[in-house]
Amino acid sequence: MTRSITILGATGSIGASTLDLIGRSPEQWRVEALTANSSAKELAVLAREFGAKLAVVADEAHLPALRQALAGSDIEAAGGPAALVEAAARPVDITVAAIVGCAGLAPVMAAVKRGGTIALANKEALVSAGNVLTTAVSKHGAALLPTDSEHNAIFQCLAANSLDDVAKITLTASGGPFRTWTSQAIAKATPEQAVAHPNWSMGAKISVDSATLMNKGLELIEAHHLFPIGLDKFDIVVHPQSVIHSMVEFRDRSTLAQLGPSDMRVPIASCLAWPQRMDTPLEPLNLAKIGELTFEAPNEELFPATRICRAAIAEGGGAPAVLNAANEVAVAAFLAGQIGFTRITALVEEVLSRYGANEPGSLDDVLSLDADARQSTTEFLETPACV
């Protein structure tokens, strides 16, 4: 049976992994739409290769280049935020939402309002707009399939079990590239060192988040919305081998863990084939070759991001949205050489302390709060206190 699919963020790492999987059995898939931020030529190549009906660039300035690259084809070209929303609203069997940042919020909401099945890889949708999004999912009867490796692992472990039977959910963290570094060395870490993740191949922003452990804190916020069992029932453990992706302990003290390679094609395949399974080109897990699996508690003195994120959840209201916005600005400043590595989380915490935002009641509220927090963070970056 042929299934239809739209990929929001087709030129990123999640998009590339998704296209790799569907490209192995093209007769089973019909690509409706592919989107990218500004990579017009790359998007056009993918649209032609996979026979997409629509290609969209979020940055409308690149639309002429996209149209030129698609000249002579039957593929429709469009550009701008409204075109992204229109692409997400098209009826398909599954929408892969992999746009990075708050630019992905409106398209995700459009797919949800259609009542579709969404493979969610956009963290901001749940971090910044968790209550707004989950309310919309319930209202419109949409299905939200978690694509992050940790949340997909939880999803698989839960299977048909009730959340009422869950005693604890444990998210695993690799610890990032600086897990064994001293505080002095961490303070001098460069962007090149921060993006060199030991286990995963990811974009620069997510790699820096992994280095600060902010990625794990954001995943904690996501999990809090996806699996509402109470904040006190979530735990984080550092697992350097990145073989166990999450664990679920039930009230009978049985614990289920999902294991697999450090490759995003595993959780993506889980979503694409759900509620069944599909083949992937990955090698089987060889535990004898791996040798050992180790675990340790996070060091929140050196890596305070998980503590900051837990506090943001507890505070509620718009705190997670402010946290996410401030972190994006701070990470960009670090990658640009404007601030040091340890200033990322320090800046986020400082910006958070200045807000007492109410709970966003709509997507517009979320976007307004996000814009305001970004502006405040940018202004704070320009003060001597941030050096």
The larger pLDDT score, comparing residue 25 to residue 124, is at 25
Counting DSSP H helices and E strands in the chain, the numbers are 18, 11
Per-residue pLDDT at 386: 56
Q: Which two tokens stand for residue 302?
A: 């050196």
- Report, as an integer, the average pLDDT of 229-246: 97
pLDDT score, position 333: 97
Band (pLDDT 50/70/90 cuts) for residue 384 is low
pLDDT tens digits for range 291-302: 999 999 999 999
Tens-place pLDDT, residues 84-123: 999 999 999 999 999 988 889 999 999 999 999 999 998 8
The distance from CA 122 to its chain's CA centroid, rounded to whole angstroms, is: 4
pLDDT at 385: 59
CB burial readout 258-291, b (16+ within 10 A) else e: bebbbbbbbbbbbbbbbeeeeebeeeeeeeeeee
User: Could you report the per-residue pLDDT of 171-221, keeping only the tens digit for each?
Assistant: 999 999 999 999 999 999 999 999 988 777 677 888 999 999 999 999 999
Start-to-end CA distance of the chain, whole Å, equals 58
Comparing CA positions, the residue from 262, 231, 31, 260 lying closest to residue 157 is: 260
Q: Taking all residues of the chain, what is their mean pLDDT, rounded to a whole number?
A: 95
Tally Cβ neighbours within 10 Å of residue 73. Answer: 14
Please write the tens of the pLDDT for every residue from 314-340.
999 999 999 999 999 999 999 999 999
Question: Distance between CA 313 and CA 376 in Å, rounded?
Answer: 21
Architecture of domain 316-387: Orthogonal Bundle (1.10)
Residue keyed to tokens 């398209």: 107
The per-residue pLDDT for 101 is 80
- Percent with pLDDT over 90 in the chain: 90
DSSP helix, strand, coil percent of the chain (3-state; round to 5): 50, 15, 35
| Pairing status of strand 166-173 against strand 234-238 | parallel
Tens-digit pLDDT profile for residues 63-76: 999 999 999 999 99
Contact criterion met (CB below 8 Å) for 134 and 143: no
SS3 39: coil
Summarize pLDDT for 34-51 with one digit per residue, the tens. Answer: 999 999 999 999 999 999
What's the pLDDT tens digit per position in 127-182? 999 999 999 999 999 999 999 999 999 999 999 899 999 999 999 999 999 999 99
Domain boundaries, the chain: 3-146, 148-263+284-303, 316-387
CA dist., res. 318 & res. 141, Å (int): 25
What homologous superfamily does CATH list for 3-146? NAD(P)-binding Rossmann-like Domain (3.40.50.720)
User: Which strands make up the sheet holding 3-8, listed edge to edge?
Assistant: 76-79, 54-57, 29-36, 3-8, 94-97, 117-120, 143-146
pLDDT of residue 369 exceeding 80, the answer is: yes
Mean pLDDT, residues 306-314 taken together: 96
